[in-house]
Amino acid sequence: MDPQRIETKLRELLAPRAEITTAYLFGSVARGTCRASSDVDVAVLFAADPPPTLEGLGLDLEAELERDLGHSVQVVVLNRAPVDLVHRVLRDGKLLKEASPAARIAFEVRARNLYFDLLPILRRYRQPREQAA
């Protein structure tokens, strides 16, 4: 699996999608630590709040990307993702698409503010689980 080729292909595939304002590559492919069996993790931000499922948009984005890339793809919809997952995407991800810099920045600022507001709660929640492991 060639991470650079996947990143380039994803940019091409996502560029014409007007309903997607921002997209990130994250996970092992973004870090360059992927193996042949790794899936491709893509996070997308829709311009309007999407329905609960990707199928509700009339799209099957995962299947389309899998077909075009030839690899398993997992799509995370940032509009509906848990705050800690959004934080990991923003911290570690690579920007694939930015239709509106202002919209991306506004989203990132809101997401980071929410994450840091909730961080003490997340730490308290994780602490007993980490001690048990």
Tens digits of residue pLDDT in 62-88: 889 999 999 999 999 898 899 999 999
Tens digits of residue pLDDT in 25-65: 999 999 999 998 899 999 999 887 776 665 555 457 888 99
Could you tell me the domains of the chain? 3-132 (3.30.460.10)
Query: Euclidean distance between the first and final Cα of the chain, in Å?
Result: 33
Which sign does the torsion angle of CA 20, 26, 28, 34 carry? positive
> pLDDT exceeding 70 applies to what percent of the chain?
89
What pTM value is reported for the model? 0.85
Cβ-proximal residues to 28 (8 Å cutoff; 6+ apart), any chain: 34, 35, 38, 41
